[in-house]
Amino acid sequence: MASVREAVESAVVEPTDLIWMNGEFVAWEDATVHVLTHGLHYGTGVFEGIRCYDSELGPAVFRNAEHMERLLRSAELYYMPVPYSSEALQAAARELVARNGLRSCYIRPIVYRGYGSMGLNPMDAPTDVTIACWEWATYLGEEGMRNGIRAKVSSWRRISPDSLIPHAKASGQYLNNVLAKVESMKAGYQEAILLDDHGHVCEGTGENIYMLAGGEIVTPGHHNSILDGITRRSIMQIAADLGYQVSERNIARAELYLADEVFMSGTAAELVPVVEVDDHKIGTGQPGEVTRLLQSAFDDAIHGRSECYREWLDVVHPVDLETPAGDAPAPAGSVQTTAAG
């Protein structure tokens, strides 16, 4: 099983050359913000996690459009106007990958309230948009992918829709996930499972969760305050295409202990087996047959080996470096792009 140390080491950020900031490419070390940036103080930001894979079609961003559209929806929910279209952000992500010479990487777009005003009313603070990318191994480690992870149900509950917006991928909300993650790691587990405000299974700190019971794949629904995962949508479609019945319903905590298989999915984690929950061995205590099948099918999809899912891949071409110059001059030390809405 995966070790806590491996999970920590896999989170190290490896610098690249360039970061896209408000329509311009700047050097990694110059991509800075003021210490009085509104989002730094109040968590007023929304973000995405996206992966680019070295596929059979070349470097390809996985479900680029769906991620950028969710980013814009999250921004709308928190009253942040974004001066770029989804298509412009998709193009910026592709060009950033190409300019950094990467074939496989993690991509982090973030929209946040910037420097200019302070206080709980954010409406006068500017909205800044940044995209970074770097090489990042699977979030829970290669050993976790192979042999599974141990998880514990957190004492911290998932944020309630009465207080915040679970459907938004918002920066400040992730303090909830951070508390659960730290608690699980201090206790010697690789991941935490959060319950919703009614005590039903919700999700991991950075992943959606599923169980196999009686031949059926079951996962919490939107009513359980989950984040609508892009990888989750993909896994559910692949499972249905393979002939499995997939249902969304309330899951009691004890159902996880009694399940035949449990697994998690997310952009950073990809698809990882869960072999223990709260020290209860799941099934045989080894990654299950269905989990392995879905892992393999998902791996084929993200690497372009499955033609039926190639529409999910946004291929990065060298031509992405040749976008026409915009009207505004680029400041010294930056390279301008026209990825604007």
State whether 64 and 191 are in the same domain.
Answer: no
Active-site annotation holds for 169:
yes
Domain holding 92: CATH number? 3.30.470.10
In terms of residue numbers, what domain contains 175? 142-305
CA nearest to 227, candidates 201, 250, 246, 208: 208
302 is written with which tokens? 């993200």
Q: Is residue 103 part of a domain?
A: yes
Cα-only R_g, the chain: 20
- Contact present, 141 and 265 (Cβ < 8 Å): no
**What pTM, to 2 d.p., does this model score?**
0.91
- Please report the pLDDT score of residue 341 as a whole number: 39
Q: Which residues of 92-130 are buried (b: 16+ CB within 10 A; e: fewer)?
A: bbbbbbbbbebebbbbbbbbbbbbeeeeeebeebbbbbb
Alpha-carbon gap, residue 37 to 14, rounded angstroms: 24
pLDDT tier at 138, thresholds 50, 70, 90: confident
DSSP 74: H
- Please report the pLDDT score of residue 34 as a whole number: 98
State whether 108 and 168 are in the same domain.
Answer: no
State whether 291 and 329 are in the same domain.
Answer: no
- Please report the pLDDT score of residue 339 as a whole number: 44
Q: Please pick, among 169, 181, 186, 281, the residue that the annotation labels catalytic.
A: 169
Q: What is the mean pLDDT of the chain?
A: 92
273 is written with which tokens? 């087996």
Q: Per-residue pLDDT tens for 140-150?
A: 888 999 999 99
168 is written with which tokens? 């938004």
State whether 57 and 148 are in the same domain.
Answer: no
Domain holding 242: CATH number? 3.20.10.10
Per-residue pLDDT averaged across 256-277, rounded? 97
State whether 324 and 287 are in the same domain.
Answer: no
Q: Is residue 310 part of a domain?
A: no
Q: Per-residue pLDDT tens for 192-220?
A: 999 999 999 999 999 999 999 999 999 99
